[in-house]
Amino acid sequence: MRAARQSGVARYDWGMSLLEGAAIFYAGMSLVTLMVYVWDKRASKRPGAQRVRERTLHLWALAGGFGGALLGQIWLRHKTRHASFIVVTVLALAAHAGAWAWWLTK
């Protein structure tokens, strides 16, 4: 994977910058995470339905789907009574933002 510099922005073999690739990654992870929240919210309304484990919801947020997790919590009013969900989601966002800040300033 070689990077070519054009106008100060590194472009990789697939024709996009690192930041463009990251934006696509986070958008995709957030969409999947939101769909998992929707699945779990629907399952919570049906007796005996298979629920998504809380650990799985946390892992999706930590893996980069914190945007979808926040949207799911706000729009669906899902998992808002569990302080751990809000804390984990905000910490995931802060960790990813901190990692990018470190990476881009080194």
Q: What are phi and psi of 51, to 5 degrees?
A: -95, 160
Residue 12 has pLDDT above 70, yes or no: no
For the entire predicted model, the pTM comes to 0.81
Residue 71 has pLDDT above 90, yes or no: yes
Residues 80-92 have pLDDT tens digits of 787 888 898 999 9
Name the residue among 43, 62, 63 with its Cα closest to residue 53: 43
Q: Does some domain include residue 60?
A: yes
Residue 77 has pLDDT above 90, yes or no: no
Q: Does some domain include residue 19?
A: no
Summary mean pLDDT of the chain: 87
Q: Does some domain include residue 49?
A: yes
pLDDT of residue 18: 82
Q: Does some domain include residue 7?
A: no
CA geometry: angle at 70 spanning 67 and 74, to 5°?
Answer: 140
Residue 3 has pLDDT above 90, yes or no: no
How far apart CA 33 and CA 59 sit, in angstroms, is 9
Q: Does some domain include residue 36?
A: yes
Residue 64 has pLDDT above 80, yes or no: yes
Count up the domains in the chain and report the number. Answer: 1
Q: Does some domain include residue 76?
A: yes
Q: Does some domain include residue 32?
A: yes
CA distances from 33 to 3, 13, 84 (A): 31, 29, 17
Structural domain of residue 101, as residue ranges?
25-105
Residue 6 has pLDDT above 60, yes or no: no
